[in-house]
Amino acid sequence: MVAYIAYYLVLVGFTLANNRTYIARLRLSAENQSLMDALLEEASSREEVIASRTSELSLSNKQLAQQISRRKELERRTQQDLELLNSVINATSDLIFYKDYAANDGRYLGCNESFINFLGRASKDIIRQTDRQFFSEKEVKLIHATDHIALKEGSHVVERWMEDPQGHRVLLSIKLSSFNDTQGNVRGVVGIARDITDQKKTEETLRFQQRSLEHLAHHDALTGLPNRLYLIDKLNHALLSPDLNTASLAVLFLDLDHFKDINDSLGHSLGDEVLRAVSRRLSACVRKADVIARLGGDEFTIVLQGIGSSIIAVEVAQKILKVFQEPLTLSDRTLNVSTSIGISVSPGDGVTTEELLRNADAAMYRAKRSGRNTFMHYSPDMTERALARLSMESDMHTALARGEFHVAYQPQVDMRSGELMGVEALMRWEHSTRGNIPPEEFIPIAEENGLILAMGSWVLEEVCAEQKRLKNAGLSDIRYAVNVSGRQLLNPEFLALVEHIVSTKDCSGSQLELEITESVLLHEPELAAKAMQSFREMGIAIAIDDFGTGYSSLAYLKQYPLNRLKIDASFVRDIVVDPDDRAIAQTIIALGNALDLEVIAEGVETEEQRAMLVSDGCSLGQGYLFSKPISPADLLVYRSSQR
């Protein structure tokens, strides 16, 4: 039992010892677990911090990488932009450079290819060099002067002639601008220079052309004289001058006599030569202060300023007429040219430009009507006549279209037997409101303004058409005389026109006669003879109308292919009572007989005139003794009454 108890006690003691050990172990294990938990908690906390810091660092690294990438991209783009800018700068033809004036010597910091080429140096030989290495001392002073203006004012533009490496002088337009350093202090200048040599030449050409256009706008291209626009401007200013209070102003209006005949017969080229020669003569007749203008065609105007009296204007007109007495020497001939002059003086004859020109023009037309080659001073009654003339001229332009013109036929008879031998076609104008207008009023105007060509063609067509109608009516053996002006005869197209009319109207040329005034022989004898010969070859007869009233040389008559002379009515009118008129008529009759030409007397109105003319050897007559001008129908009646 003791043993058992002892065993039990030993067992209990061992158990207690083991328990204490176990408990101690348990306590240690618990402490270790607590420590481990603390360590684990701390480790976990540190891991969180590390993870957070790692995340932050990763984000920072990412952001830094992005910044580096953006900076590299920016640097790449900047480099591209710089390369592009450099390419553009080098591609431009403008010279670009920049210079450093920090040390006040203006050394080159950079430039483009165009500037390098202009200097003819390599880039390395330009950078850090000054202008003295490339330009003369004189040019350097000019360059530095303009550079310093730009440094002071911020910018400056200058044009400068310089010499390129080939020795060519070029004009540069240089724009200078200052630039600053990093501290904001002015450091140097940037320059852009452009070669404007060709531009300047173009501008000069344009300016010259502009001046030429302005000159042409105010001057006559043919003669170089001022034109109407210039004249009116000068007159307007002159009339406003205070000098008019103490001195007069005169206007001379000139129109060349028979100039249209020159153009028609000799051509416009020679006509232009005449106008140039006339302008030179007129210029020699006046002072430099006076104005000579060509208004157009053959019209010239002279303005005399500051004259003390109208007598000065008369003296100038007389001087001009005297100068024109000398023939004009042209390239291949000499030509007699005269002029008619009208004078108006301010303030008596007008106080405005329009009045002075209009009144001088009216006076000129009076000079024309007075025989030409003279001058006339304006008088108030001329204005009414000038207005009437203008009205008539205006009406003439439409009279043909309105059918106001017609042809009347005056019989030409054998004064011994009374037999009808022919007729003269006479143009008549029955105005719609003014009634019958005499030929002596409208024919001279038509000759002056050129309408005579159209009117003459119309008359010829009417006569040729009437000739055929009368022939069909039984009147087939008479001659039809048609008046032809000098302008018509000498017109190069007139022959072809007559041929065309005769052909298309089926007219007999052998029954036509062209009556030409004696004055034509005076102005252009050779051309007149050539034209007359052409018509004679067509079978058309030629008569000299109003013979004895002109100044043609009798020696010329035998050179012309004539058929008939017509004694002017002025010699027939008083032939019975005036021995001189009879002597002239007898001379013309004798001349005609000597040259084997028919002679016909115009204006026979009395039996005494008829008898005297017949006794003197003139067998053909025309006048109111036999018949007034009549219609084609009355002409048939007239012929029937003779049988």
- Per-residue confidence (pLDDT) for residue 10, from 0 to 100: 58
End-to-end CA distance of the chain, in Å? 220
SS3 for 471-519 is: HHCCCCCCEEEEEECHHHHHCCCHHHHHHHHHHHCCCCHHHEEEEEECH
Q: Does residue 8 have a pLDDT over 60?
A: no
> Which tokens is 46 given?
């540190």
pLDDT mean across residues, the chain: 86
Question: pLDDT for 498-523, tens place per residue?
Answer: 999 999 988 888 999 999 887 677 66
Q: Does residue 5 have a pLDDT over 60?
A: no
- Per-residue confidence (pLDDT) for residue 631, from 0 to 100: 94
> Which tokens is 208 given?
């010259």
Query: What residue segments make up the domains of the chain, in order of their start?
Result: 13-87, 95-200, 219-379, 406-642
Question: pLDDT for 581-612, tens place per residue?
Answer: 899 899 999 988 988 999 999 999 999 999 99
How far, CA to CA in Å, does 177 sit from each of 41, 110, 182? 73, 15, 17
- Per-residue confidence (pLDDT) for residue 488, from 0 to 100: 87
In the CATH scheme, what architecture does the domain 95-200 have?
2-Layer Sandwich (3.30)
Question: pLDDT for 138-179, tens place per residue?
Answer: 889 999 999 999 999 999 999 999 887 778 889 999 999 999
For residues 134 and 119, the answer to whether their CB atoms sit within 8 Å is: yes
Of the segments 215-219, 381-385, 489-493, which one has the largest average pLDDT value? Answer: 489-493
How far, CA to CA in Å, does 574 sit from each of 311, 570, 578? 41, 8, 5
Q: Does residue 237 have a pLDDT over 50?
A: yes
Tell me what the mean pLDDT of segment 323-339 comes to. Answer: 88
**What's the rounded Cα separation, in Å, for the pair 622 and 415?**
9
Question: pLDDT for 627-642, tens place per residue?
Answer: 999 999 999 999 988 7
Domain 95-200 and domain 406-642 have a common topology = no
**What's the rounded Cα separation, in Å, for the pair 624 and 610?**
11
For the chain, what percent of residues have pLDDT higher than 70?
A: 91
CATH code given to domain 219-379 = 3.30.70.270
Tell me what the mean pLDDT of segment 263-278 comes to. Answer: 85
Question: pLDDT for 414-462, tens place per residue?
Answer: 999 999 999 999 999 999 888 898 888 888 888 877 888 889 999 999 9
Q: Which residue has the higher pLDDT, 382 or 310?
A: 310
CATH code given to domain 406-642 = 3.20.20.450
How far, CA to CA in Å, does 101 sit from each of 105, 108, 123, 174? 6, 9, 19, 18
- Per-residue confidence (pLDDT) for residue 383, from 0 to 100: 67
**Beta strands at 248-256 and 479-484: parallel, antiparallel or unpaired:** unpaired
pLDDT band at 565 (very low <50, low <70, confident <90, very high): very high
- Per-residue confidence (pLDDT) for residue 551, from 0 to 100: 47
| Cβ-based burial of 636 (10 A; exposed 0-12, middle 13-18, buried ≥19) | middle
pTM over 0.85: no
Residues in CB range of 391: below 8 A, 6 or more apart: none
- Per-residue confidence (pLDDT) for residue 71, from 0 to 100: 83
Looking up tokens 């020497």 gives 329
Q: Where would I find the beta strands (DSSP E) of 415-450?
A: 420-431, 435-437
Q: Does residue 62 have a pLDDT over 60?
A: yes
For the chain, what percent of residues have pLDDT higher than 90?
A: 41
